[in-house]
Amino acid sequence: MYRSHKGFTLIEVMVGLLIGMLGTLIVAQAFTNNEARKRATTSNADAQANGAIALYMLERDAKAAGWGMAAGSNSYSGCTTIYAYCDKNASCGGAAGALTNISFAPALIKDGGTKPDTLAIQYFADPNLGSSLPSGSTITTRKMLLPSAELDVANPAACSEGDLALVSQAGNCTVMKITEVQDVASKLQHNPGTSGEYNPPASFSNDNGWPKYPSGASVTCFKPATNGPIFRKVYSVNTATHDLERSDNSQNPAVTNELVMTDVVDLQAQYGVAPAGTQAINAWVNASDPGWDNPLPADWARIKAIRVALVTRSTQYERPVAGEGCKATTSLKSSWATIKTDNYPSDWGCYRYRVYETVIPLRNVIWGKI
């Protein structure tokens, strides 16, 4: 007789394997879902941190917009016609001849259409030296016989050799480089040459009808920036690398497109404007609105604030749903900005985003009553 052998039948083994496989599948699915949630949470945190830091840096620079643009009774916003020159020297921008693109607005927005906007913040004193006096002011005491003539002034100590002087009267403003201060004679020289890159040859200013300022014209002196007469910090978004970048001529040497923060995909901005002669904002306008693509001098003083929206993106790519495409993000919303995704990458919906908004009062404009 054969001895009896007890054990599992084939059916029992197969049932056991099936139960084990189901258990393994459930555990694996739970682990996968948990890992996906972890990655989404981490990437959201990254987008949140990037947005907060980027907005802080932009806001810090924008709060100082207009620094030095109001000195005593002088206001740069009164310049309706600006006369400026560059002799090809890199320190004045590298252009040759008259500089026609100078604006003394504290903030300038360039509309990007379906692409991100660009925000330029301007100062008449080094924003990195907030404790220094922004400028010195005096007046002319004798009429200039020629546009290239030296300046007779009441207080030559208001200016130093190497300063830029903005001479203004009745809406006309001329940018000059001070090449010599004559304290005893109370004169300011602005000669052309290697140290006077902003000063045109006498024939240029005389032949092109530059102003001959009378006695009593305002003379305001300030330190020049690198690669331009006034200090500028320009924020823009690199749509190829999805980075927020900044160009800054307050540094020496000036920097172009330095990285501020990664994974920033959009920047939108608006002007907050007040009626002429008042401080209370009554409208928000886009740079694309009529009259605001290149604000006129009369409107510079009306800009009392700017508001900014930054869109940051997570670093984690989330796989599209089979047959449905990317569903991580389906739309981007702002309380005021129109976020256009037309020029976003085709797989933009496979990432998560955060929209950050802020309103930045231009306190130097408000306090200085520019």
Question: How crowded is residue 221: how many other Cβ atoms within 10 Å of its Cβ?
Answer: 24
pLDDT by position in tens, the chain (length 370): 555 566 677 787 788 788 888 888 888 777 666 666 656 555 567 778 888 999 999 999 999 888 877 644 455 667 888 999 998 888 887 778 898 878 888 899 999 998 999 999 998 888 877 555 557 889 999 999 999 999 999 999 999 999 999 999 988 999 999 999 999 999 999 998 878 899 999 999 999 999 999 999 999 888 888 888 888 999 999 999 999 999 998 888 889 999 999 999 999 999 999 998 888 999 999 999 998 988 888 888 899 999 999 999 988 888 887 777 888 888 898 999 989 888 888 889 888 899 999 999 998 888 776 6
342's torsion region: left (phi>0), alpha (psi -120 to 50) or beta? alpha
Residue-level pLDDT at 55 = 93
Per-residue CA distances from 144 to 79, 92, 198 (Å): 19, 25, 18
Residue-level pLDDT at 205 = 92
Please say whether the beta carbons of 164 and 223 come within 8 A.
Answer: yes
Question: For residue 325, what is the DSSP state?
Answer: B
Residue-level pLDDT at 36 = 62
Residue-level pLDDT at 180 = 95
Per-residue CA distances from 362 to 52, 183, 194, 285 (Å): 20, 37, 37, 16
Please say whether the beta carbons of 327 and 320 come within 8 A.
Answer: yes
Length of the chain: 370
Q: Which residues are registered as beta bridge partners of 181?
A: 188
Residue-level pLDDT at 128 = 76
Helices (H), the chain: 10-63, 202-207, 297-300, 363-368
Cβ burial 340-365 (10 Å sphere, 16+ → b, else e): ebeebeeebbbbbbbbbeeebbbebb
Phi, psi for 158 (deg, rounded to 5): -70, -15
Cβ burial 132-171 (10 Å sphere, 16+ → b, else e): eebbbbbbbebebeebbbbbbbeebebbeeebbbbbbbee
Cβ burial 9-30 (10 Å sphere, 16+ → b, else e): eeeeeeeeeeeeeeeeeeeeee
Residue-level pLDDT at 230 = 86
Residue-level pLDDT at 59 = 94
Residue-level pLDDT at 73 = 46
